[in-house]
Amino acid sequence: MASFDYDVLVLGGGPGGYPAAIRSAQLGMKVACVERDRLGGICLNWGCIPTKALLKNAEIYHTMQVAPEEWGIAYDNLRVDFSKVIKRSRDVSDRVVKGIEFLFRKNKIDSIKGFGALTGKNSVEVTDTNGAKRTVTAKNIVIATGARARELPNLKPDGKQVLSSTEAMIMDHIPESMVVIGAGAIGMEFAYFYKTFGTKISIVEMMPNLLPVEDAEVSTEIEKIYKKQGYQIFTKHKVNGVKLEKKSVKVEIEAVDGGAKQTLEAECVLVAIGVQANTENIGLEKLGIKMTKGFIDVDGNMATPVAGIYAVGDVAGPPWLAHVATHEGIIAAEHLAGQHPHTLDYDNIPGCTYCQPQVASTGMTERAAKEAGIEYKIGKFPFTALGKARAMGETDGFVKLIIGTKYDEILGAHIIGYEAAEMIQEVVIGRAHGATGLSMTKTIHPHPTWSEAVMEAASVAEGEAIHL
């Protein structure tokens, strides 16, 4: 039998890679992880965690702005030390990354610093920061190299006038104005963050709505709220070009239906138009690993057609979410260990956007249910009718459930509101265990809570509403 350095070698230490490494070690295998930067990947270093730290700062600042009138709390000289806002976010990231490093030590996982490229189905060449190379062999290889922000042609982020999400996290000042290109989760979160601290924000989106993957009613609602708050919104507009001048950026936009062109001028532009996989120069082609639209093809166990090679997380295609990557990493680890891993239900993946109000959803949109020819009923409950929302002073938004008429199954849930990202999990768990609109209605919920709104929405669909 062939002898290898490791049973499992993981390329990439992000939210797909490090769970794959830890789960493999838990199952008794000898494991190493190759990572060119810090463990935790984009999520822990430049995405999920540090951005939420920034957004919490913005939320607190907004609360203090409205405190004298709404909450009866008086103070003088409210001000922001933006450098401390950024520092807190970086400190949070550092602490979480150290936690992953501890878990690697606890599980006896070797952490190999460098850039890894496959040289065979069982071998990886690792190049360290000094250019020194070494070859590491393994019985199984898990590719978890992630993805990076897509760039506009000939427009490289410079941290001053042109930003990706990475540069937007470490600005040294609050920009006077910003054009945000792309109204997906990343664009909307940074738009909210900087607008709260006083930046004049213009959002440009090619699709008809903000957050275009969400249910149309949710997208319409957040657009209405943001317009009221002073955001400049250009949906159904494409970007023709970006011109960098000495002290400003000029973005030429045009309506997608052929309308008039106009130029938006701002201090900087944030490009948030999606991601592309990190698949270049890692040896995929020579092994015959197939890709679709730049993302690695895998089966339900995250295995590629090349025996012993797996791919998980963003590099394996959408949905590009950390929690999906984690489950995929665990599935790959269990499968290569000879176990029978759980099946990941891609129809019940929660997606969350952490601007305020938050947006969260799972399952089918109403548009999708209609296109599929499914008969359905709608349960919709506004937060204006929820006691907890009134008490908290957060009454924007609603819960919307899409429920099948024939079997009363919950086809989808869409929430826009203050704690939407926490509330959606009730529906995700419910759908995973066969909950119906009626069972959701009849399940007692504590009062007063945000989660009551889910029960209330179900009761609307079932014709048993008490509070509407």
Catalytic-role residue among 173, 237, 327, 447 = 447
Q: Could you give the dihedral angle defined by the CA atoms of residues 81, 84, 88 and 94, in that order, rounded to the nearest 10 degrees?
A: 160
The answer to whether the CB of 296 falls within 8 A of the CB of 285 is: no
R_g over Cα of the chain: 24
- Cβ proximity of 252 and 129 under 8 Å: no
Rounded to the nearest 10°, the torsion over CA 357, 358, 363, 365 is 30
First vs last C-alpha separation in the chain: 70
Q: Which 3 state secondary structure label does DSSP give 227?
A: helix
Tell me the two tokens of residue 434: 């066969």
DSSP symbol at 319:
S
> Does the annotation mark 447 as catalytic?
yes
Give the C-alpha separation, 94 to 383, whole Å.
Answer: 36
Report residue 120 as tokens: 């065979």
Q: Which of 144, 138, 119 is CA-nearest to residue 296?
A: 144
Token pair of 333 as six digits: 């680890």
What are the strands, taking DSSP E only, across 192-236? 200-205, 232-235
Enter the tokens of residue 215: 């249910």
Under 8 Å between Cβ of 310 and 277: no
What gap in Å lies between CA 8 and CA 337, rounded to an integer? 9
d(CA 205, CA 211): 9
User: Whose CA is closest to 204, among 249, 156, 158, 148?
Assistant: 249
Residues with active-site annotation: 447
